[in-house]
Amino acid sequence: MADIVMSEEAENDLVQIGDYIAKQFKSPKTALNIIKKIKDRIDELKNFPLIGTPLSSKIAIDTEYRMLGCGSYSAFYRHVNNDVLIDRIFHGRQEYIIKLFGDLPDEHDDSPNPQPRQ
């Protein structure tokens, strides 16, 4: 069984998601339900750490990131040894590539592959 390790940024993402939903829908209960669903989905990674889609299969970037759909949100994580490192959680409409990697080099640029932001 893998251990789930949430980054400080991922924890902050959950807080921001909860705050946004509570404010937009004027329902803290709805916000708590959505956060619980996201956390429950992430917990599935304990038993199945590779169920997320490799990010490199969706975009032309060599990366260890995998993405796990959590309703309207996606958790971006890496499976390292026996740990599942949850780095960020974004809404599906957010520019997750820019948030994960920053500005990417031009495809003709000879610089090395981008690394995740830390």
Locate the domains of the chain by residue range. Answer: 3-101
Looking at domain 3-101, its CATH superfamily turns out to be RelE-like (3.30.2310.20)
Query: Tokens at residue 61, please?
Result: 């970037």
Give the global pTM. 0.84
Q: CB–CB of 89/10 below 8 Å? A: yes
**Residue 98: strand, helix, or coil:** helix
The β-bridge relationship of strands 83-91 and 3-6 is: parallel
Instruction: Report how far residue 31's alpha carbon sits from residue 13's, in angstroms, rounded to the nearest whole number.
Output: 13
pLDDT in tens, the chain (118 residues): 999 999 999 999 999 999 999 999 999 999 999 999 999 999 999 999 999 999 999 888 889 999 999 999 999 999 999 999 999 999 988 888 888 888 666 554 444 455 554 4
Instruction: Report how far residue 58's alpha carbon sits from residue 22's, in angstroms, rounded to the nearest whole number.
Output: 32
What are the φ and ψ backbone dihedral angles of 46, each rounded to 5 degrees? -60, -45
